[in-house]
Structure 1
Amino acid sequence: MKIFSILFFLLLSSTAFAQTSELTKEESQEIINLINSYSKARETKDSTLLRQILTIDIDQLVSSGVWRDGIAVAIEGMMSSSASNPGERTLKVESIRFVNPKVAIVDARYEIKNSDGTTRKMWSTFVVVMETEQWKISAIRNMLPSGN
């Protein structure tokens, strides 16, 4: 009977971890889709989409060192930046770390291919949060590694 109990609990715990793993994979894909939506909104200058995927209290630190606090300031800055710095923007998610079931840190390679053929290679870190059954971007940190 004792062996049966141990096997039962081992089987139960492995099933629980399998469900968590599947859930994490699904949520990871949702987060990747969120970052892709952000990239698309920036590329197409879609402020309506940005309002849907950003939290109201978003803050952003851009590579020039400027802080953007709040959704209105962030969207205005994003639209202005996309217009004044044209180029093909690419965000490629490299890692997602779940801090808890409702918060994750996302690191992505961020490249802007300029019209003169040069490429600006940076990193972006996003803090995403589950808000009203939807992942949203709460913070963005863009970094330009030294030497680039």
Structure 2
Amino acid sequence: MKSLSILFLLLISSSAFSQNPLNTKGESREIMDLISSYSQARETNDTVLLREILVEDVDQLVSSGVWRKGIDEAVKGMMESSAENPGERSLKLESIRFLNPDVAIVDAHYEIKNSSGTVRKMWSTFLVVTETEQWKISAIRNMLPAGN
């Protein structure tokens, strides 16, 4: 009887810490739409949309090594970057990894094709969180692949 009680306690404690299935099609679709909205906002210089999809304390590390901290600095920097580096931007999602029901890491290929036809190929990683029952971007990391 004692071993049965111990087994029961182990089963209860392990189930309390086991993860629920996180990667539902609905959640993934919402995150894909969020990244699409981010891309659209950058392409159209839509600061209102950016402010809707970024958390207040968002931070961004750009490929040049500059940190942008807070929504005001991030939005300002994004607009300046789009003006200084014109071109057709594209984000192609590669993966979404849920850390828990309210946090996910999103990896994407990020390319900027300029008017001369050259393409700047990078990676972007987004940390997305649910805030007021809506997925929002909490952090962005842009990286140049080694050798570029």
The answer, yes or no, to whether TM exceeds 0.5 is yes
Quote the residue 2:85 is aligned against.
85
Give the TM-score normalised by structure 1.
Answer: 0.85
Give the TM-score normalised by structure 2.
Answer: 0.85
> Aligned AA for 1:29?
R
Secondary structure (helix, strand or coil) at the match of 1:147 reads coil
How big is the shift at 1:135? Answer: 0.1
CA distance in 1, matches of 2:115, 2:109: 19
How big is the shift at 1:71? Answer: 0.1
> Aligned AA for 2:111?
E
> Aligned AA for 2:141?
R
CA distance in 2, matches of 1:55, 1:65: 21
> Aligned AA for 1:128?
V
CA-based RMSD: 1.5
CA distance in 2, matches of 1:30, 1:49: 15
Which runs of 4 or more aligned residues in structure 1 lie more than 2 Å from their structure 2 counterparts after TM superposition? Answer: none
CA distance in 1, matches of 2:29, 2:57: 24
How big is the shift at 1:137? Answer: 0.1
Quote the residue 2:61 is aligned against.
61
Q: How does 1:18-33 map to 2 (within 5 A)?
A: 20=21, 24-33=24-33
Quote the residue 2:9 is aligned against.
none
CA distance in 2, matches of 1:143, 1:20: 30
Stretches of structure 2 that go unaligned for 5 or more consecutive residues are 1-19
Q: How does 1:87-126 map to 2 (within 5 A)?
A: 87-126=87-126
